[in-house]
Structure 1
Amino acid sequence: MKTILIVDDEPRTRQGIRKTLEAWFCGRHRIEMASSGVEALAWLQQNEAHLLVTDIRMPEVGGLELVERLSAMTPPPVVIVISGHPEFDYAQKALQLGVVSYLLKPLDKEKLVQAVELALKREEEMSRMVRMEKLFDPKLLGTVQKEKQYSVQVREALRHIDDHLSEQVSMRAVADHLHMNASYFSVLFKEQTGLTFSDYLSRRRVQRAKELLVNTRDSIAEISEQVGYQTAKYFVKVFRSIEGTSPGQYRQNVSNSEKSIQ
């Protein structure tokens, strides 16, 4: 269940948006209201909102200032701005702040619902990205960020490894695929990525395993096979050496964490 916070100093507009969304979503989302930007900020100090629907002109703290203040949150809520005036400067500023939609009053109910559905999809995508970033091995993240700096051979090696993670991949086989001397390839790979071929392969397999542990219900044995290990026992050993915990415990820890976040 997602939480939608409606912020508007006009009671009629505030209630109208709430009734429209409650009728459309039939209790699937929690809908809260605030009569000002100040009240919204106070509420958000104690609660989490996934979507903020805010008027742009309000006393003390306007909609755009509210959005700017919330930008420090990780991740910040997605935002829909509503306004009684088609002012270009406001719309431009809203877009610069990452606002999903800019709706004009009087609000069209169908356009409001469409904007909210789009915003909730955007929020889900952002949450998934943040979640996957938290799961990502920092050493692998470094290779992703620097990949454009690597030679053509090393970039091709990384792609080849990714495409064949479920198979028996060896340094010599990858070197042969690249038509390179294995010893030279080994030195080149370590020099550019900062990881030995073996360490990179193990970390990449464990990374894929973590994604499968979080996003599927596949068994540990099934996942070990999907990431290229012949036995689940050895997979668990490698996983524990990199993550400091077993695959089963890792899945449980992430599951518990997700429940507390959402």
Structure 2
Amino acid sequence: MYPLDVQYKQFVDVQLYNSYRLLQELFDDDVMAITSKLDEKKEDQKNWMIERAEAYIQEYYTSNIKAYEVADVINVSPNYFSYLFKQKTGKKFNEYVNQLRVEEAKSLLVETPFKVSEISEQVGFQEYKYFAEVFKSLLVSRPRLIAI
């Protein structure tokens, strides 16, 4: 076995293949197998990067986290991270972070005696007004109504 887990026909008796076409088919099959393995490895790497990014976001979403910070953690450019994140999660970075924050805020509103403004800060929103807008857009309700 060789790298990429492709088995080559090490000793091909060329005389068995009496035509160029058969040799070409053998070669094409090997190239396709290599290409397929490379594509799989590339997808695995992308999945790993997004899993790592999601873990980092989960840990730091209550801070003023930025996409370029997460991109730096997984060693890619901010533009590529944004593209890949949207492709793999179906959400833009800010949408994803805001959803995490709102879900946590919803739990805190129900389970704790904290004020809505305190909870908005605890989950990472810098401004209460923006928190209220995002909350309402995602849950179709105002934070104060959930807290009651």
Q: TM class by shorter-chain length? A: 0.5 to 0.7
Aligned equivalent of 1:168: 64
Quote how far apart the aligned CAs of 1:183 are.
Answer: 1.1
Aligned equivalent of 1:32: none
Q: What are the residue-to-residue correspondences of 1:64-143 with 2, within 5 Å?
A: none
State yes or no: 1:153 paired with 2:49.
yes
Q: Greater relative contact order (Cα 8 A, min sep 6): structure 1 or 2? A: 2
Quote how far apart the aligned CAs of 1:157 are.
Answer: 1.0
Partner of 2:63, secondary structure, is: coil
Quote how far apart the aligned CAs of 1:177 are.
Answer: 1.7
Aligned equivalent of 1:222: 118
Alignment-mate amino acid for residue 217 of structure 1: P
Q: Is the 8 A contact 2:101 2:123 kept in 1?
A: yes
Structure 2 unaligned regions, length at least 5: 1-45
Separation in 1, partners of 2:76, 2:65? 16
Q: Of the candidates 109, 112, 128, which is equivalent to residue 213 of structure 1?
A: 109
Structure 1 unaligned regions, length at least 5: 1-149, 253-262
Partner of 1:250, secondary structure, is: helix
Aligned equivalent of 1:202: 98
If each structure's strand is expressed as a fraction of its own residues, which one has the higher value?
A: 1
Quote how far apart the aligned CAs of 1:213 are.
Answer: 1.0
Separation in 1, partners of 2:122, 2:52? 21
Quote how far apart the aligned CAs of 1:251 are.
Answer: 2.5
Separation in 1, partners of 2:131, 2:79? 27
So what's the TM-score if we normalise by structure 2? 0.66
Separation in 2, partners of 1:157, 1:186? 11
Partner of 1:217, secondary structure, is: coil
Aligned equivalent of 1:186: 82
Separation in 2, partners of 1:166, 1:194? 21
Q: CA RMSD in A?
A: 1.3
Partner of 2:133, secondary structure, is: helix
Alignment-mate amino acid for residue 134 of structure 2: V
Partner of 1:167, secondary structure, is: coil
Aligned equivalent of 2:17: none
Alignment-mate amino acid for residue 250 of structure 1: I
Partner of 2:126, secondary structure, is: coil
Aligned equivalent of 2:130: 234
Q: Is the 8 A contact 2:63 2:124 kept in 1?
A: yes
Identity of aligned residues (%): 37
